Amino acid sequence: MHLPNDLIIGLDTIAMTTSKSLTGFRDIPPGAHFLWLQQPNGISRCGYWFITERHGTVRVKKWNRFHEVLAEPTAQEVRNIEASIETTYFSLQPYNIYEQQKQQKSPNTETIFNPSLVPQWARTQTLLWHTLTWAISTPFLECITGKKGVKEYLVDSTDCAKEIIKDSSHQEPIFSASKPLFNSTSSEFSFSFTQDFRDLQFLDAAGLADTKASVSDTTPRILAALNNGKSTTRDILAELQFTFITGTQLSNSACLDQWWSLVLKILLRAHALAVSHPMLARDLILTLHAQLYFTENYVGEASQARDSQDGKNKDVGATEPGSGRRNGPNADRLLYQYRPVNRLRLRHALAEYKRRLRTHGVILESNSDSGISATIIQQQEEERAALAHAWEELESWLWRCGWDLGRVEGERDAGRKEMEEFGRGNGFDGSKGKVMRQWPGDSEDEDEDGMPVVVELDENGREVGLVSFRD
């Protein structure tokens, strides 16, 4: 009700600019859904998570001009809308409005309409959205947002995470608000594994540089969360799904932080999970694949100002010079722009995960004339076969984007060998210092500019070429 003109509004995989004719959406299928809005020229967004269970339910929201947010209408306004739904039904936008329109086009790149290149779950927008959100439920939304007894769960770009602190009188960490609530609609997300992230950071810091990214298998941490009765496998998947959608659609930094931490510090390091809980590992890989695919094909570029002088995209996710092929997923998407170094970490974490799957006997790599790493199921158990298939689909899609995971391990070993040989062959005295052997993807630094590089040292262990006033 009362939406202003030129308001940007999105529902799941679709987005549009409002006009006076937009009164709502119809035929929304059962499941979890996300509606978000942005003011014209605004920098922040708000959104609603809601769960549909059956057809025929009418949900009504009214635009609040003062707070610039969707608010609850009066009971009388709701009754009036429900009474007139038969006449207004056909003026609502159908949920799958874009699927029929796009099917009439002839795409020249990989899209959901090229079945030979896309998994079954991504061939329609409805199927893709279900894959992205199937684990999110009403109890989960109540738990993570702290809102109970509501039909829709309001979230905002500025919502933050609850901070975990330790208290001597508590056996477990307790939550503490990291900022005061400025109104009753603010959310402070109750994330899982927050303390684990900190523990792993200290553990990694104590390890050697060349084993920093894989000093421990995080499978016991996931199993501990499952065995303490506070989380289920669905809850873990739901948090991965919630943080991704809320983070990318609203540019919410708390959710983006949590998603990257979950993926890089917990899930892709839970290597033994492929053996003990292969279906959970399969669901995690499938969800990650759907999220990366959604980012590539449905999320706009983070930067509106593009270098168009020569009509080419010059970011690191575009093309390799002279090769005619892409160098991985588009690096200008918000997910990667939020913290660019994480894109490189993701590539190496996936390569390491593949190596561990091969070590555990879940997959066996063989050479292929096409250049794509073929995956052969070594153990014929149904659950491991499902995991191997999910991994094969993800790896094949990444290869078409320009990431060959099979080359990453060789590049990593070659880079470390080069560093070691450089340290031995350039008069470096090991008693006065040490050569840093670290692959860029292992760095925990916030900025890519802090990546370790090979430098030449003099007899005193100082970098050659630096300016010194004492000299």
What is the rounded average pLDDT of the residues 401-428?
Answer: 60
pLDDT at 180 over 50: no
Query: Is a pLDDT exceeding 80 seen at residue 159?
Result: yes
d(CA 192, CA 229): 13
Range(s) of the chain covered by CATH 2.60.34.20:
8-105
pLDDT tens digits along 326-335: 688 999 999 9
Greatest Cα-to-Cα distance within the chain, rounded to the nearest angstrom? 87
Contact residues for 453 (Cβ-Cβ < 8 A; gap 6+):
none
pTM of the model: 0.77
In the predicted structure, residue 321 carries a pLDDT above the cut 50:
no
In 322-367, at which residue ranges do the beta strands (DSSP E only) sit? 363-366
CB 160 within 8 A of CB 254: yes
266 vs 451 pLDDT, higher one: 266
How far is Cα 271 from Cα 359, in angstroms, rounded to an integer?
Answer: 10
Instruction: Give the mean pLDDT of the chain.
Output: 75
Higher pLDDT pick, 147 / 420 = 147
Cα dihedral value 273, 276, 277, 278, nearest 10: 80
pLDDT of 324 > 50? The answer is no
Q: Exposure string (b/e) for 258-268, b if CB count within 10 Å is 16 or more?
A: bbbbbbbbbbb
Angle between the N-to-C axes of helices 138-145 and 233-250, in degrees from 0 to 180, rounded to the nearest 10: 60
Judge whether 47 and 39 are in contact, CB under 8 Å.
Answer: no
pLDDT at position 12 is 93
C-alpha 318/C-alpha 320 separation (Å) is: 7
Q: Point out the least confidently predicted range of 28-42, 59-73, 389-403.
A: 59-73
Sign of CA dihedral 431, 435, 437, 441: positive
**Tokens read off for 410:** 């060789």
Taking domain 8-105, whether its CATH number is 2.60.34.20 is answered by yes
pLDDT for residue 100:
54
Query: Average of pLDDT values for 230-234?
Result: 86
Can you count the helices (H) and strands (E) in the chain?
15, 15
According to DSSP, the residues that pair with 374 across neighbouring strands are: 366
The answer, yes or no, to whether residue 214 has pLDDT greater than 80, is no
* Between 260 and 385, residue with greater pLDDT: 260
Distance CA 427, CA 155 (A): 58
Report residue 260 as tokens.
């990257």
Residue type, 129: W
Average pLDDT of the residues in 30-52: 89
- pLDDT one-digit tens code per residue, 74-124: 999 999 999 998 888 988 989 887 665 555 454 444 444 455 678 889 888
- Which whole number is the average pLDDT over 251-272? 93
